[in-house]
Structure 1
Amino acid sequence: MTEKVYVRAQYLVETPLDLEKVAGMMAGEQSSGTFVRVANETDELRERAAAGIVAVEEQESVPEPTLQSDYLLRKKVTGPYRRASVTIDYPVGNIGHNLPTLAATVAGNLYDLGEVTALKLVSIQVPQSYRALFPAPRLGVEGTRLALNVQDRPLFGTIIKPNVGMSSVQIASLVRELCEAGVDFVKDDEVCANPVHAPIAERVPAVMAQIRAHRERTGRDVMMAFNITDELDAMRRHAELVEREGGTCVMASLNWCGLSAMETLRHSTPLAIHGHRNGYGAFGRHPALGFGFDAYQALYRLTGIDHLHVHGIGGKFADAAGEVDEAARRCLQPLAHDGSRDDVVMPVFSSGQWAGTLKRTREAAGSTDFMFLAGGGILAHPLGPAAGVKSLRSAYDALCAGSDLTAFSAGRPELEAAIAMFGDIR
C-alpha cells in the first residue's frame, strides 16, 4: 500500500465547546466530511481522504469570546471560551498540485464555523515531495547576490519617494542619483504601479536607460524592482517589458494579486520576483485571528518568489522585534523541513530603517543575507542620498569592527549626521 503524504497545519482555536469534538469537526469539514454522514461516505473513502487530528493541546481559557457567533447564541452556549493548539494532517491526494486548493483546505470555511469564536492558522508544513511540485525561486538569496556581485554584506537599498506623483522623467532622474549614490537595490512603492503620471510603459524604459548607462560606465549593476501589480495578463506584459529593457526584478503586491497570479507570473518570467506583503496586517496582526506569518510565507513561497518583506525593527509598523526576527529567519530556512536551502528567500527589512537600526537587523536575520531598505535613511539624509548610503556602509563597518556606533562615527561625517538626525540607535 502506498504511504500517504500529508500537509500539516497548526491552528490556534477558541471555542466554548469540547475541544476534541471541535477539532474533529474541523478535520471533517476540510476533508471528506460534512455536518452529517452522507450516502457515498464509505469507510474506504474516509480511510483514504479524511484528515487526521495529530494533537489537541489545551491552553488558557478566556472569559469573553474574541468574536460573537450567532450559531452559539441560538444554542444558548456561553463561556468560558477554551483555547487550544490544534494540529491536523491533510492528505496531499485531496489537494494535488493546486495552490488555491491547498489554501482552501488548510483555511477555507474554518473561519466561518459557528463552533469557533476565534481561529488562527499558525503554520503550514509541507514535505519535500510536495514542495517539489511547485516553482522554486529563480534567483533567491544566492542568485540575487550574484546578479549584483555583492557578497558577505547586506544589500542596501531604498524606495522611490515621494511614493506617487512624480513623472517618469523625474523618477528616472532620481534613480540615476541613487545609482551614483551607491545603492544596490531600488524599488517602486507599493502604491505606484501604473499611474497616469508615470505609466509603466514609459517609466520602465526611462529608468532602465539610466541603470544601463550606469552599468556600462561603472561595471556595477543596480537592481530595480518595478511594481507590476495588475491583472495577470498585464503583469506578464509588464515583466516582458522589464526583461527587454535589461531589468532583473519585478515587484508585486502578493495579497492583492493572489496565489494563482503569482505562481503563473513565476512560470512566465526569469526575473527575480520581489514579494511585497502590504495588507498582511489584516490577515495576521490579531493574535487569535487570521494567518500567522509562518503559514503565510509557506503559501507565497510555493509560488516561487525570490524576496519577501518582513517589515523592520523599531520602524513605523506594529510588529514586535521578536515577530520580525522570526519572519526573517523563517525566510532563510528551507520551506520543507526535509528540503534543501535552494528555496530560501531573501528577507527584506523596511519601514523607518537607517544606520542606527542595522545592528539589530543583522541580529534578527542571524546572517548578512538580507535586504536593508532605508527610505528616509537615505533620501532624507541631511547631506544627501550618497551620504545616506555611506552612513549605512559605515554602520556596517562598525558592526564588523565590533565598535560602538557613536564612537565609530567620529571623523565620519555621513554617520555623524545620520545619528544627529535620527538619533534612536537600536
Structure 2
Amino acid sequence: MSARQINVTYRLETSGDIAALAAKIASDQSTGTFTELPNETADVRARCAARVASITPLPHSDTPAIPDPNGHGPYHRADVVISYPMDAVGTDIAALVTITIGGVYAVKGLSGVRVMDIDLPPEWSCHPGPQFGMQGSRDLMGVTDGPMIASIIKPSLGLLPDATAEVVAQLCAAGVDFIKDDEKLMSPAYSPLEARVKAIMPVIRAHEDKTGKRVMYAFGISAADPDTMMRNHDIVRAHGGTAAVVNINSIGYGGMSFLRKRSELCLHAHRNGWDILTRHPRLGMEFRAYQKLWRLLGVDQFQINGIRAKYWEPDDSFVQSFKDVTTPIFSPKDCPLPVVCSGQWGGQAVDTFKRTGGSLDLMYLAGGGVHGHPMGMAAGVRAIRQAWDAASTGQTLIDYAKDHPELAAALRKWGDTSQ
C-alpha cells in the first residue's frame, strides 16, 4: 500500500463552517456519503479516505460567488488542502479529475470553489510529458538563442489552400521561425487539411532549399474522433511537416493521450475554452492546476496569452502562467515552450522581457501585429525583432525606434509609446 498522497488545494467559500465543509468534501469524494456506513471500516478509511491536511483562512466576502438563496453573509473563505491516498486514485488522469475535481463543484453549501493547485507524487512521472518541449522546439526551428518569432495565418478563416500558401511564402521571406493555422482552422470544406498541407509544404521546402532555414509550420489537426485526428497527423507527417496545433479542451484528455503516444509531431497546444473554467475569480480552476495535466499528457508548446493581451486576462495572470509552465513538475524536461500570444506586437516586448525575469526562452506569436503592419508583413516581423533587441539590451522602444523605421511605424500605428 502506497503512503504517498495527492494534495489538492481548493479555495472554498461558504456561509457555514469552512472546517465542516472541508471535512464533508474529503468524505464525499472518497469513502463516505450522507450517512454512516457499516462497511466504512477503519481499515477502509486508512486505505482510501481523503483527509483535510490544512486550512488557511482568507478574508470573508459579503456577497457569494454564485447566488445563494438559502444563505446570508458573511461568506467565509479559506484555502483548504485535501490529501487523497494514491491507493484510491492511482495515476490515471480520468480518475484524478473525477475524484478530486468533478464532484466537488456539486457539494451542497458551497457558494464558491476554485481548484488552486494539484501536487502529485513521483509515481505520476509515468506520464510521457513533452516529446520536444523547449529545446526540441528550438532544434526543429534552428533557433539557438533568443525568442522564437512566430506568426499566424490571417484572416483566420476563409483563405483557400493556394492563397494560404502565398501568405506562408511571404511570412517565410519575412524571417519568421514558426507559422501556425489559427485554432479555428482544422479541415473545413473550403480548405481541407490535406489540400492545405499539399499547398504549404512545398513552400516550406523551397524556402529551406533557398536559405537553409526550415520554418516550422503547425497545422490544425484537432478532431473529436481520435482516429480522424491521427489520420490528420499522418497526412502532415507524410508531407514533411513537423508540428500540429491541438485544441486541447476540444479533444479532451483521452484524445491527447491517444495522440501523444503515436505522435511524431511537435504539439502546439491552444487552450481555447479554458476561460470557461477560470474567468470567475472565485469559481473554476487556476491555470497552475490546469496546465499540469496537459503537460503530463505531452504538450510541447503551450499558449498562455501575453502582456496587454487582446482578451480579458490581466497581465499578472499571464506572468503567473509563464511561471507555472516553466516550473518543472518532476524535471526540467517536462516544461513546454511558453507561447506568448494574443494581440502581441513589438510594443509588449520590453514589459514581457522584464516581467518574465529576462527570459528569452519563449515563442512570441503575433498575428495582426505582423499582418497589420503599415509597411507590410516583412516590416512587421522586423519591428518585432527590433523590439526584442531593444528589450534584451536594456533600451526603450522609443529610443530604439529612432534608428529603426519598422519599429517606429509600429509605435505610430498601435500607439504604445510607454516603453
**Which category describes the TM-score, using the shorter chain as reference length?**
over 0.9
Query: Would you say 1:167 and 2:160 are equivalent positions?
Result: yes
Deviation by residue 1:55-110 (Cα, 9 ceiling, x = unmatched): 1112122222222357xx3xxx5332111111111112222231111111221111
Deviation, 1:166, is 0.6
1:311 aligned residue (305, 308, 314): 305
Aligned match of 1:380: 372
- Given that 2:350 and 2:390 are in contact with CA atoms closer than 8 Å, whether structure 1 keeps it comes out as no
Match of 1:137 among 117, 130, 137: 130
Q: Does the aligned pair in 2 maintain the 1:329–1:364 contact within 8 Å?
A: no
What do residues 361-411 of structure 1 show as CA deviations (whole Å, max 9, x unaligned)? 122333111111111111111111111111111112222332221111123
Q: How does 1:111-126 map to 2 (within 5 A)?
A: 111-126=105-120
- Are residue 361 (structure 1) and residue 352 (structure 2) matched? yes
What's 2:336 paired with?
Answer: 345
Provide the rounded CA distance (Å) in 2 between the counterparts of 1:19 and 1:246: 56
Aligned counterpart for 2:251 among listed residues 245, 257, 263: 257
Given that 2:91 and 2:123 are in contact with CA atoms closer than 8 Å, whether structure 1 keeps it comes out as no
The aligned counterpart of 1:291 is 285
Checking the alignment, whether the CA contact within 8 Å between 1:14 and 1:83 is kept in structure 2 is yes
Q: Which residue of 1 aligns with 2:178?
A: 185
1:324, 1:275 → 2: CA distance? 16
Matches within 5 A, 1:49-64: 49-64=48-63
Distance in 2 (CA, whole Å) between partners of 1:212 and 1:400 is 32
Unaligned runs of 5+ in 2: none
1:148 to partner: Cα distance? 1.1
Partner residue, 2:327: 333
Paired letter, 2:344: Q
- Please state if 1:13 is matched with 2:12: yes
Q: How does 1:22-61 map to 2 (within 5 A)?
A: 22-61=21-60
**Residues 103 and 299, structure 1, Cα contact 8 Å, conserved in 2:** no
Check the 8 A contact 1:69/1:114 in 2, yes or no: no
Aligned letter for 2:131? R
Per the alignment, in what secondary structure is the counterpart of residue 302 of structure 1?
Answer: helix
1:177 match: secondary structure: helix
The 1-side partners of 2:163 and 2:121 are apart by: 48
Distance (whole Å) between structure 1 residues aligned to residue 323 and residue 345 of structure 2: 21
CA distance in 1: counterparts of 2:2 and 2:262, whole angstroms = 34
User: Does 1:419 find its partner at 2:406?
Assistant: no
**What is residue 205 of structure 1 aligned with on the other side?**
198
The match for 1:392 among 376, 384, 408 is 384
2:103 to 106, 109, 120: 109
Looking at structure 1, the residues matched to 364 and 394 of structure 2 have their Cα atoms a distance apart, in angstroms, of: 19
One-letter amino acid matched to 1:84: A
Judge conservation of contact 2:128–2:296 (CA < 8 Å) in 1.
Answer: yes
Does the CA contact (< 8 Å) of 1:223 and 1:248 recur in 2? yes
Q: Is the 8 A contact 2:343 2:366 kept in 1?
A: yes
Task: Indicate if the aligned counterparts of 2:353 and 2:391 stay in contact, CA closer than 8 A.
Answer: no
Alignment counterpart, residue 90 of structure 2, candidates 92, 96, 99: 96
Displacement of 1:257: 1.2
- Supply the distance in 1 between the matched residues of 2:142 and 2:353 (Cα, whole angstroms): 20
After TM superposition, give the deviation of residue 39 of structure 1 in Å. 3.3
Counterpart contact for 1:311–1:350, Cα < 8 Å: yes
Shift of 1:152: 2.1
Task: Please give the alpha-carbon distance, in whole angstroms, between the structure 2 residues aligned to 1:210 and 1:333.
Answer: 37
Aligned counterparts of 2:93 and 2:46: Cα–Cα separation in 1: 24
1:226 CA displacement: 0.8
Separation of aligned partners in 2, 1:302 and 1:91: 20
Matching residue of 1:280: 274
Q: TM-score, normalised by structure 2?
A: 0.96
- Note closer, same or farther for the CA distance 1:397–1:65 as it changes in structure 2 (3 Å cut): closer
Paired AA for residue 276 in structure 1: H
What secondary structure, in the 3-state scheme, does the structure 2 residue paired with 1:25 have?
Answer: helix
Q: Which consecutive aligned stretches of 4+ in structure 1 deviate over 3 angstroms post-superposition?
A: none
| Residue from 242, 246, 251 that aligns with 1:248 | 242
Residue 306 of structure 1 aligns with an amino acid whose one-letter code is D
The aligned residue for residue 318 of structure 2 is: 324
SS in 1 for 2:232: helix
| Letter paired with 2:393 | A
Structure 2: how far apart are the matches of 1:119 and 1:97?
24
> Residue 298 of structure 2 aligns to a residue in which SS?
coil
Instruction: Provide the C-alpha distance between the structure 2 equivalents of 1:344 and 1:133, rounded to a whole number of angstroms.
Output: 15
The Cα RMSD (Å) is: 1.4
Question: Cα offset for 1:182?
Answer: 0.5
Counterpart amino acid of 2:168? Answer: V
- Structure 1 portions without partners, runs of 5+: none
Distance (whole Å) between structure 2 residues aligned to residue 122 and residue 165 of structure 1:
39
Q: Secondary structure at the match of 2:182?
A: coil
Distance 1:317 1:310 in 2: 11
Match of 2:53, SS state, is strand
Task: Report the residue type matching 2:275 in the other structure.
Answer: G
Q: Give the Cα separation in 1 of the matches to 2:62 and 2:353.
A: 41
Query: 222, 230, 234: which one pairs with 1:236?
Result: 230
